[in-house]
Amino acid sequence: MQHDTRTEQSNVSGAYVRHSLSEKDREAVAAMRMEVAPVKGKMGDPSARPPFDEVMEHTPDARGVTYEKRVVGGVSGIFCTPQGARPGAAILYLHGGAYVLGSANAYRHFAGQIAARATVAVFIADYRLAPEHRFPAALDDARAAYRGLVESGARKIAIVGDSAGGGLALALLSIVQTEGVAPVAAVVMSPWTDLALTGGSLEDRADDDPLLTKEMLSKTAASYLDGHDPRDPLASPLYGALAGRPPIQLHVGTSEVLLDDTRRYADKARAAGVEAVAHAWEGMTHVFPSSVGTLEAAEKALSLMATFLDERFSTRPEAAGPRKERGRA
């Protein structure tokens, strides 16, 4: 099947792009499903940190990217710097792992793939994890890292994240507008935007999702929130007032329980006048762009992210921020 793209408009003038599944990817996804089947719903506590990191480290290294451990704003992490990096620009990357898993080291190659394509240095923040550190520790660290990038001289900053890190990125947007340098854009992959777990896809994609389950997400949300209101917009950005957010690009697979976390956030953002475009990838699973080198869809999604980020970093600072969709869907 040839890859094609078609646009469907939501009932609030939201923009979606649907991407079909290629035959090559159909076979690759089938193999991946078999590989992860034994761990479905089991990656929900600190004991899963080593195997989770091992999986993420399978993302191939990007040519021409150097990696350096750094502390930014008091937060440890790794800088991924591509050849010819754009001066005065930076990307803050917030990794996934349901707030209990993940590390900058494990994500360095994936973030390096983004850095190479966008020709912008990426800082992956090693924000504190639950259950050792509860809400709002992760958000506090993300904000401190953002401030640190500003203090280090970055004048154009984008925020990128996946899964829980995608939700964290969207929550961070609401509190960094006054940090001296407002973010020019955000890119999120399979973002977890609703820790109250009210999305319909948690049920109707339960069998189709090869990795995540509602029960596992409920467990990790409880571990992170420690009794805090899951509808607090700083924990679940779906419940926030979204007007004034910068342009946002979202990517999600149709075979994942968090599909509605993207759909509903994109609808709400568009209704608030935000330039938000959601790319839905047929048959793809959670955070599929990390499978670059294996999936054609991963390469195409990363190319879309790079084009989007290049446009935002090329915009004059005074012109950055929400604007009308220019016929792009």
- Regions of the chain short of the pLDDT cut 50: 1-14, 318-329
Judge whether 151 counts as a catalytic residue.
no
Element (H or E) spanning 16, and its range?
Answer: strand 15-19
Determine the pLDDT at residue 245: 96
Judge whether 255 counts as a catalytic residue.
no
Tell me what the pLDDT averaged over the chain comes to.
Answer: 92
Which residues are 86's β-sheet partners?
none
Question: What letter represents residue 123's amino acid?
Answer: F
Among candidate residues 236, 275, 286, 291, the one labeled active-site is: 286
| Long-range pairs of 132-138 with CB within 8 A, sequence gap ≥ 24 | 132/46, 134/223, 134/224, 134/225, 134/226, 134/228, 135/224, 135/225, 135/226, 135/228, 135/234, 135/235, 136/234, 136/235, 138/99, 138/164, 138/168, 138/224
CB distance 212 to 287 below 8 Å: no
CB distance 194 to 261 below 8 Å: yes
Q: Two tokens at 92?
A: 């803050």
Beta strands at 75-82 and 65-72: parallel, antiparallel or unpaired: antiparallel
CB distance 124 to 78 below 8 Å: yes
Q: Is there a cis peptide before residue 131, judged by omega within 30 degrees of 0?
A: yes
The span from the CA of 141 to the CA of 128, in Å, is 7
Determine the pLDDT at residue 293: 95
Compute the Cα dihedral for 231, 233, 236, 240 and give only its sign.
positive
Among candidate residues 22, 163, 236, 290, the one labeled active-site is: 163
Which of 15, 51, 10 has its CA nearest to residue 250? 15
The span from the CA of 229 to the CA of 223, in Å, is 13
- pLDDT tens string 217-257: 999 999 999 999 999 999 999 999 999 999 999 999 999 99
Helix axes 296-314, 104-118, angle to 10 degrees: 70
Residues in CB range of 140: below 8 A, 6 or more apart: none
Domains, in order of start, for the chain: 5-319 (3.40.50.1820)
The span from the CA of 112 to the CA of 93, in Å, is 10
Determine the pLDDT at residue 326: 33
Determine the pLDDT at residue 179: 82
Residues in CB range of 95: below 8 A, 6 or more apart: 56, 102, 103, 104, 106, 107, 124, 125, 161, 162, 165
Determine the pLDDT at residue 227: 98
Among candidate residues 251, 256, 279, 290, the one labeled active-site is: 256
What global pTM score does this model have? 0.92
Determine the pLDDT at residue 298: 98
Cα separations in angstroms, 193 against 54, 189, 202:
25, 11, 13
Structure letter (DSSP) for residue 86: P
Question: What letter represents residue 291's amino acid?
Answer: S
Judge whether 163 counts as a catalytic residue.
yes
The span from the CA of 196 to the CA of 232, in Å, is 9
